[in-house]
Copies of this chain bind each other. A is one copy, B any other.
């Protein structure tokens, strides 16, 4: 968990209508719990309006949000500065402080992203399948919003805007827990979003933050079965694991990627080198970056020197097994832990395997089911890899960095699901919807 501010530091007085009480680390006070329930009930009520809102009304609100962001850069940066100051005082790492930062360029790019979402096709009302039954009854399965979507994330105020916009476009009310570390930024952003919603004729409660309730609010959100239809955690593996195991609300698990590339005996050397380099170096801190390269023993001498030299030029540290270190002595020894590590840094584990079966067995043991790729010119091995590796995305001769909603043409992305239920892989707007069956008869009864 990257969040360093404890629940006990949160300002209890922020909860409207509550009497200031002694801060508690676990659980809400009676008044807070009541205010929390009121907030969720207001989300449900707003969701009913949103579900019926025409696309043009939702689009008008999205344009208003983009405009409000551009018009209020100064106010957003001022609030963000408060969070950054508090973060520095609390000793947040440089990486976390960077993720927490909103400057004018980032705010303008957020506004652009909201306008991109406005341009996407509205999934609500799309007919998935349908038929006419033998008795003349017509049935059709149509996309409908989930209703209320909860999202728990960490100190990334840009996610507040992205998720609010995606949820709005898909007709969902959103309840956001963006983390105490970004509380001031999120409060201002949610205020601007709510202003744009009201100006478009939609309820302000379509987008709400529960940051003032601190961590106890996040815990409460996970218990809010019936109030919240789906909960999406975004962030560190620790955060996601906590939500997945504690939540009583259905969860869509996103994220963690111990991503593999297997260099088969017949791999094209320049493809191997370019793809591994791209998958590791282009953006090492993201979930679709490669963490382990497996190489066929018959190709190790041919491929590894070129592949690893190119990585070394970009400052990558190689963690190799004994066979790798024989070919590439600069590698540091890989431990058992390396095979299971999502480095998210310029580190790469490399292992020599005996064949495709050995590679698949390694992947089955260590993969988190995000993305795996094979580089090969052998059509049988390619098909076996695609069929036998059970991950959200399986690839032949392409960079693992392509597992991404933007790259897949979804325009924007809620996250990348690594579970098998409901959504798997990059989640776009359709993945933020459920379906309902519409049945139209003329008096038919069942025989």
Chain A interface residues (CB < 8 Å from chain B): 48, 51-52, 131, 133, 137, 139, 141, 144, 146-147, 225, 229-230, 244-245, 248, 250-252, 268, 270-271, 274-275, 277-279, 282, 373, 386-388, 390-399, 401-403, 407-409, 419-422, 424-426, 434-446
Contacts and interface: CB of A to CB of B under 8 A. Distances in A.
B51 A390 contact: yes
Give chain A's interface secondary structure class. mixed
Contacts of A391: 436
30 contacts: A51-B390, A52-B387, A52-B388, A131-B409, A133-B407, A137-B402, A229-B420, A230-B420, A230-B421, A244-B248, A250-B421, A268-B443, A271-B442, A271-B443, A275-B445, A278-B445, A282-B446, A373-B439, A390-B436, A392-B436, A394-B436, A397-B440, A398-B439, A398-B441, A399-B444, A401-B446, A403-B437, A421-B422, A424-B435, A424-B437
A342 B17 CA distance: 39
A230 B403 CA distance: 24
Contacts of A392: 436-437
Contacts of A402: 133, 137, 139, 439, 441, 444, 446
Given A52-B387, A229-B420, A421-B434, A439 B139 contact: no
> Quick one: copies of this chain in the complex?
2
A351 B388 CA distance: 57
A147 B397 contact: no
B399 A446 contact: yes
Contacts of A393: 436-437, 439
A278 B442 CA distance: 14
A141 B417 CA distance: 14
Contacts of A442: 271, 397
